Amino acid sequence: MEVIQTQRHRHPDDDAVALQERFNKREVVVFDATPIYPSTELSAEQDVFFYRTPAPETPVPYDIPIVYEDADILVADKPSFMATMPRARHIVETATVKLRRSTGIDDLAPAHRLDRLTSGLLLFTKHREVRGAYQTLFARREVQKTYSAIADYKDFHTPVLWESRMEKTPGEIQGRIEQGDINAITSLVAVNPLTSDEQQAMDDIHGKQQQLARYTLAPKTGKTHQLRLHMWAAGVPILGDPVYPIIYPVDAEDMNIPMHLTAAQLEFIDPLSGKPREFHTTLTF
């Protein structure tokens, strides 16, 4: 009961009665899936497993369009405000859980992750046999990723290479750029002013803005908040970013006002077929 009571995001109805119900349904198990009961004697440091009851979550008011699907993979456009995988206070309102429920594919698993506030392309594997091949592809940075960000217009002579040392302390919201060996590299590929219609769409969401532009970014490394930090350091923080330059309180979050950073394109050589793959987002902002 102590494990349940000490959860940071506990459902108010997850009490002693709910715990007993788990035992009754044989849902409390040890490593080999053998059910245990309140009277079961356990050895020291033996692991016990059960599912927690998700606390109430604010629904994310956006769909997850499927961009591509075949026998092995599924590529979807994750919206802003939706976490990739269940974690902390985001369990049900995550791309993995929602797509598992909508497709009926219980083994659906992401091959990589996007920040909760970043929208765009996520590649999922559909069964365990191919999961390792695609996850390794991303882990080895053999996937070329292109992002689109919207920010105030600034005339850069592209392409520009941003190279920094970035650090982020666990528990702290903002990352930081420090002196030291370079560990974060981003290529600014292009800067294109928004059209009048695009500008108006941003004004409708964020209020009247100065001239905005679309920044095409190609990260060479994958540090936490890398693109957000590099854009801020370059004097053009991403429109709608609630962390850079100012940290807004969590309870001030408005899901009608997204951060405009989108994973726009994925390119790689398929680890199973050996053929080139290329996917593009369906999202416009």
Q: Which among 108, 145, 138, 76 has a CA at the least distance from the CA of 271? A: 138
Distance (Å, whole) CA 13 – CA 53 = 8
Low-confidence ranges of the chain (pLDDT < 70): 1-15, 19, 50-56, 88-91
CA atoms within 13 A on the CB side of 119: 28
pTM of the predicted model, to two decimals? 0.82
Q: What pLDDT does 80 receive?
A: 96
Distance (Å, whole) CA 109 – CA 95 = 10
Residue 193 sits at φ, ψ, to 5 deg, of -55, 145
Distance (Å, whole) CA 140 – CA 273 = 18
**Strand ranges, E, within the chain:** 66-69, 73-78, 109-110, 119-125, 144-152, 160-167, 176-178, 184-193, 212-219, 261-269, 276-280
3-state secondary structure 82-109: CECCCECCECCCEHHHHHHHHHCCCCCE
What percent of the chain has pLDDT above 90? 72
Distance (Å, whole) CA 184 – CA 186 = 7
Summarised one tens digit per residue, pLDDT across range 54-103 is 666 788 989 999 999 999 999 999 999 999 988 766 668 899 999 999 99
Q: What pLDDT does 75 receive?
A: 98
Q: Whole-angstrom distance between the N-terminal and C-terminal Cα of the chain?
A: 45
Summarised one tens digit per residue, pLDDT across range 31-60 is 788 888 878 888 877 887 766 666 667 889
Q: What pLDDT does 1 receive?
A: 46
Q: What pLDDT does 22 receive?
A: 78
The whole-chain average pLDDT of the chain stands at 90
Parse the chain into domains and list their residue ranges.
1-38+46-52, 66-280
Q: What pLDDT does 27 receive?
A: 81
The hierarchical CATH code for the domain 66-280 is: 3.30.2350.10
Tokens of 166: 């970035």
